[in-house]
């Protein structure tokens, strides 16, 4: 355990932080410590004016001309190229469109088509039993359509299952587990899947903008991700889809809408898919939402002169290690087992703490004090503990925020006030 740091020590860390000015890109409410960027990123200061301009000038004055003059029609590719810089993809390989769920349906359908063509005897989609439910629901739907089986395993069992994986068509996994924050080595797991003859789909919802990702370097096959968590695109922001160039042109994705057509403005009655990843588009781009998302992406690209994702990752680990040490030292009288990996290499940008007695109430009490994290109920059985999740977004989270958050947590637990918060219906928990 590290030597305990004081609040003054944390203020000194903030003063010496080379990334400290990036916080000024955000509008953050006074009196709030926001540790839930892993669910919804904070508001970039540039977003309100950018969205207002899209409404008032581009839409209000430019009208339909803005599809060309304001570049609306190219938003999916332009924003895709920006996100590609954060996830180890090349320009022209990634598009922004639709939701994470819809994009997963597209890429999983394409991956299954490839698997059926190359190895029709393979009938299993393998995934994490702790995967985010939407991923599992989409996979269940496709299994029902194609006569396949969705099999669930754990990270601990994954290597052994892949070693005997002659029946596996697709490995569908989230790189950073949404509950525990456990992060898998993408390159290693992809290599194991390929050795077993399976394709890989990586969900980057808790990775993109939080940890360095190298899709091309890992030789991944497909990926999808979320725009409203670490990319700070706003609630319900558009998501993204990526296909490795070796796969991009092999099959249509099933939602063959007009924007994925090779020549959408020819208005042909027959569908011809666009070249490359643009075929993963479907309907008309959500212009206002993409305008907001671009501001969020730009907050991350602003870190490039300061070391980019590597520098953000280094600070994220400092923040989460500080939090873990502070909780262990200052909340030692309370049962708060660490539910995230202690090993930095295996932990994303969040820390989860188990609380068997009243996790919802503890988080509600923290939120009443202005410390916003979130709560997740026990996963698959009553024996599994509730989780308190704390996200550490290095763009705007300070070291003193971590210290003050643990102070509030210790006070909530020491005073027992969480026992009253349990019954307070006004205490919203995200």
Catalytic residues: 132, 203, 228-229, 389
Please indicate if the annotation marks 134 as binding a ligand. Answer: yes
Give 182's strand partners. Answer: 347
Residues contacting 54, CB < 8 A, separation 6+: 70, 287, 288, 291
Please indicate if the annotation marks 203 as binding a ligand. Answer: yes
Please indicate if the annotation marks 386 as binding a ligand. Answer: no
Please indicate if the annotation marks 258 as binding a ligand. Answer: yes
Tokens of 181: 């924050």
Q: What is the dihedral of CA 296, 300, 301, 305, to 10 degrees?
A: 150
Please indicate if the annotation marks 132 as binding a ligand. Answer: yes
Please indicate if the annotation marks 397 as binding a ligand. Answer: no
Please indicate if the annotation marks 206 as binding a ligand. Answer: yes
Please indicate if the annotation marks 261 as binding a ligand. Answer: no
Please indicate if the annotation marks 101 as binding a ligand. Answer: yes
CA nearest to 311, candidates 404, 208, 395:
395
CB contact at 8 A, 372 and 33: yes
- Binding region for pyridoxal 5'-phosphate: 100-101, 132-135, 174, 203, 206, 228, 258, 284
- Binding region: 100-101, 132-135, 174, 203, 206, 228, 258, 284
């Amino acid at each position: 355990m590290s030597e305990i740091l004081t609040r003054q020590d944390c203020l000194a860390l903030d003063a010496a932080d080379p990334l400290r000015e990036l916080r000024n890109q955000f509008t953050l409410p006074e009196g709030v410590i926001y540790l839930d960027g892993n669910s919804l990123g904070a508001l970039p200061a540039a977003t309100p004016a950018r969205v207002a301009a899209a409404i008032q000038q581009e839409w209000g004055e430019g009208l339909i001309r803005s599809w060309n003059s304001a570049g609306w029609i190219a938003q999916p590719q332009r924003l895709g190229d920006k996100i590609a810089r954060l996830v180890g993809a090349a320009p022209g390989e990634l598009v922004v469109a639709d939701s994470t769920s819809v994009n997963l349906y597209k890429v999983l359908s394409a991956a299954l088509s490839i698997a059926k063509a190359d190895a029709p005897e393979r009938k299993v989609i393998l995934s994490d039993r702790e995967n985010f439910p939407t991923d599992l629901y989409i996979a269940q739907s496709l299994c029902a359509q194609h006569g396949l089986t969705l099999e669930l395993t754990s990270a601990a069992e994954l290597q052994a299952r892949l070693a005997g994986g002659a029946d596996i068509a697709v490995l569908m996994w989230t790189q950073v587990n949404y509950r525990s924050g456990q992060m898998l080595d993408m390159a290693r797991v992809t290599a194991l899947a390929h050795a077993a003859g399976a394709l890989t789909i990586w969900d980057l919802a808790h990775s993109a903008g939080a940890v360095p990702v190298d899709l091309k370097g890992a030789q991944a096959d497909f990926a999808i991700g979320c725009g409203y968590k670490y990319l700070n695109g706003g609630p319900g922001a558009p998501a993204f889809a990526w296909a490795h160039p070796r796969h991009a042109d092999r099959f249509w994705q099933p939602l063959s809408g007009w924007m994925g057509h090779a020549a959408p403005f020819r208005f042909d009655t027959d569908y011809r898919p666009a070249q490359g990843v643009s075929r993963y588009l479907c309907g008309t781009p959500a212009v206002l939402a993409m305008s907001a998302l671009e501001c969020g992406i730009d907050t991350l690209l602003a870190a490039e002169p300061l070391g980019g994702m590597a520098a953000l990752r280094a600070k994220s680990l400092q923040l989460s290690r500080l939090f873990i040490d502070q909780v262990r030292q200052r909340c030692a009288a309370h049962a708060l087992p660490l539910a995230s990996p202690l090993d930095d290499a295996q932990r994303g940008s969040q820390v989860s703490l188990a609380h068997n007695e009243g996790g919802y109430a503890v988080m509600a009490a923290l939120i009443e004090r202005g410390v916003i994290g979130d709560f997740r109920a026990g996963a698959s059985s009553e024996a599994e503990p509730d989780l308190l999740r704390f996200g550490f977004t290095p763009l705007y989270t300070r070291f003193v925020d971590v210290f003050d958050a643990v102070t509030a947590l210790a006070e909530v637990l020491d005073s027992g006030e969480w026992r009253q918060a349990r019954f307070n219906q006004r205490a919203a928990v995200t």
